[in-house]
Every structure is written in structure tokens, then in C-alpha cells.
Amino acid sequence: MIEFKRKTLSNGLKIIVHTDKTSPLAAVNLLYNVGARDEDPDRTGFAHLFEHLMFGGSINIPSYDNALQSAGGDNNAFTNNDITNYYVTLPAENLETAFWLESDRMLSLAFTEKSLEVQRNVVIEEFKQRYLNQPYGDEWLLLRPLAYKKHPYLWSTIGKEISHIENARIEHVRDFFYKHYAPNNCILVVSGNVNPVKVFSLAEKWFGPIEKRNVPVRNLPVEPKQTKARKLEVERDVPVDSLYKVYHMSDRKSKDYYSTDLLSDLLSNGKSSRLYQNLVKEKKMFSQLDAYITGSIDAGLFVVEGKLADKIKMKTADQAVVEELEKICTKPLKKDEFQKVKNKVESTLVFSEMSILNKAMKIAFHELIGDAADINSEPDKYLKVTPADIKKIANEVFAPTNCSTLYYYSKKQ
């Protein structure tokens, strides 16, 4: 049970505090409700580029990092298709430093040309390092536009192409900032060795004077139901063939999310799971095989991906996966098997609550998609799932017409 206190400032900033006195540290997490899905289709990669610019100096403080490190703090951030999340950990007694820094960059950035030019290059190098210069690095650049035709999940956080980043101008940056970075578009969570009253007063002092901004209401195109199986084949300079099958699934808030998550656990969580036991160990068709869900806020994807064992044909491997998925659609689950994934939910939860930073991030995310209190009621939602729910959802998700398949061939063959 995670206990917390909350407050909302008059400018709309939500603050949630969770005290954990066993740590000497404080974690400060700011979740901005903006991600790659909010980008203009002709200017993709912007939310992520922007995350980089947030470290390029704010209106009153030339170096965010120097100031934080001097107070013994460390920080980082990530951007995904849904959110941009910034986090700091520092000695609890130096908490105010984080408020000073974070409030200044919410107030306004320095917006220097130099910072933009450098971060453009850095992000281009990141694009190369993670997506172009790695074996299979472009898998998601191929899968997203195959599975999504309308919804902005069709592009990756890094962007559709390098030119979108190259073309970023300072006025786009400024515009993006005032559109999305605002107290009324942010959730601030503080956890660790902190006193909620003190945190609220610090929040009032540093964030209170920032004015509410006009944040556009999100109105994203809905992905139309897929009615025909899709397929893409590519050949790349990689040593091993790889197979991907992605299926549309529910959004994060749906009741179906929990059954779908458990469905992926049954197939692929742990060495005792079906895909590993049957297709990696018994039939020896794959050297690695995983099933997981993307967990995105809007309707997401159920992903099955694997590296083929030597001399196994792509079609044979594909067929073997399909048969495993059919099995779970038609045959009853073993009792132990079902109990197992439920037990795992409990243990994953207990272990995930060991770190104050992890707790802060989870609280912020739950607040964004509904209510921070759901962090405590979520396990029950998993425990309520029945074998019948699993069967129902498996049949919906694994419908052949709901599938996009990618054959990623090794050039050698």
C-alpha cells in the first residue's frame, strides 16, 4: 500500500507526495502530458528533441546540470509516444534545489540557437546509434507504420526520418514549449524522506507564480479497425532472420488491458512460459522468442518477436507461432499456469516498490491516466481476471485479420 498526499495549485499543477523515511534521498518526478503522439506528422521527433533542449539552460539558470550536481543530485528524462518524464534524485535535505531548477525550466527556457544546433546533432547521432547502426535497429521504424495507418503511434519517438530533426527551427521550439510545457499540463510527484507540508509550501513558492497556459485539447485520430492481415518483408545485413507479429489491443484504461497483459505473461513471462518451452526448447525453432504489450495509453500493440534458429524457414516459424496462439484461444488453461501468472503480478508489484524513484514514476503515470490511487487498486484488477476473460481476449486479439507480420531476412540467404 503506497500512501500519499495531494494538492493542486491554482495554476493547475498537481502535486503528489509519498513519504518513505527509510531512504536518505528524495525523488522528484515531473510528468509532462506530451509525447510523440502530439507531434505534427511533418515535424516528428520533436517531443524527444525537446526533451534534450530542456537541459540546454533555462531563463534564469544557464546550466541545469551543474547546479543540480553541486547539490549532490542526479537526473535524467525519457520521452515516449505518450509522455515526457523528467526525474531527479538528490539528498533529501537539498530538495529545494530540484524545485528551483524544475520551476525555472517550466517558467521558460533560454531558447538559444547554439543549444538547438548542438542538440539537433546529438539527436541525429542518437538516431544513428540506436536505429541505424545496430542490427535490427530499424524494426520499430518498420513495424509502426505497418500496424498504424491513422493514429500518430505510426511514428517512433525518435521521429520518422532524420530530416524532420534537421529542419527544426527555434520558432518551432518556442511554439512547442508554450503549447505543452505548462503547470496545468504537468504532474509533480515527490517521494522519499520528505515532509508533505514542506513539499507543498516549496511547490507554492517555486511553481505557484508560473501562469497557467493555454494547452490545446488533444484530439487524435482514432486508428480504424484493421480488417485484413498485413505483411512486410525486408532484407538487411544481419546474421539471423527475425520474425515479428503485432496485433492491435485495447488502450491502457480499458478493463481488457489486464487480461491482455496476463495473456502476454502466459505466453512469455519467465522460462516456464509457453513460447519459450514449446518453441525455443522443444521445437527449437527460435533462439529467442518474446511476447509483450506496448502498454501505450491509446490502443496499443501485442507483440510477438523472435530470432529464428539456424536452418528454420520463416514460414515454418511463423506457422508455429500462429499454432501456439491458436492453442491459447481454444484450449483451457492449466490451473497452475493461471495461478502462476497471478502470483507473478504480486511479486512484480512488491519488488517494483523498493525504489522511491520507481514509486514516484508510477504514481505520476497513474494520476495521468486516471487517479494516483489506482496504484493500490491495480493488483486487484489483475486478480479479478478469469480464464474465460483470457480466452475471450485471446480470440479478439489474435484474429488473423488483426495481425501485421514482418519478415526481417538476413541478407546472406
3-state secondary structure of 155: coil
Q: Which of 11, 94, 184, 395 binds other proteins (CB under 8 A)?
A: 94
What DSSP designation does 111 have? -
Q: Which stretch binds other proteins (CB under 8 A): 32-40, 102-110, 171-179, 368-376?
A: 102-110
Among 22, 20, 21, smallest CA distance to 2 is for 20
Shortest Cβ 69–other proteins spacing (Å): 4
Q: In which element (H, E) is residue 31 found?
A: strand 25-32
Shortest Cβ 229–other proteins spacing (Å): 28
Q: What is the CA 330 to chain-centroid distance, rounded?
A: 32
Burial of 125: CB neighbours in 10 Å, binned 0-12, 13-18, 19+? exposed
If binding is defined by CB under 8 A, does position 110 make contact with other proteins? no
Q: Which of 255, 281, 313, 411 binds other proteins (CB under 8 A)?
A: 281
Asked whether 372 and 366 are in contact (CB, 8 A), the reply is yes
Burial of 250: CB neighbours in 10 Å, binned 0-12, 13-18, 19+? buried
Q: Quick one: 218 or 284, whose CB is closer to other proteins?
A: 284
Q: Which of 8, 40, 41, 129 binds other proteins (CB under 8 A)?
A: 129
Q: Which of 78, 113, 133, 175 binds other proteins (CB under 8 A)?
A: 133
Q: Quick one: 178 or 351, whose CB is closer to other proteins?
A: 351
Asked whether 102 and 61 are in contact (CB, 8 A), the reply is no
What DSSP designation does 58 have? B
Q: Which of 85, 97, 260, 296 binds other proteins (CB under 8 A)?
A: 97
Q: Quick one: 90 or 147, whose CB is closer to other proteins?
A: 90
If binding is defined by CB under 8 A, does position 408 make contact with other proteins? no
Among 39, 37, 34, smallest CA distance to 165 is for 39
Q: Which of 8, 40, 41, 65 binds other proteins (CB under 8 A)?
A: 65
Q: Which of 14, 120, 160, 252 binds other proteins (CB under 8 A)?
A: 120
Residues between 290 and 349 with contacts to other proteins, criterion CB under 8 A = 307, 309-310, 336, 339-340, 343-348
Shortest Cβ 149–other proteins spacing (Å): 29
Q: Which stretch binds other proteins (CB under 8 A): 6-14, 120-128, 182-190, 252-260?
A: 120-128
Cα distances (Å, whole numbers) of residue 381 to 238, 347, 374, 410: 42, 15, 10, 42
Cα distances (Å, whole numbers) of residue 39 to 146, 176, 299: 19, 9, 17
Q: Which of 29, 85, 89, 185 binds other proteins (CB under 8 A)?
A: 89
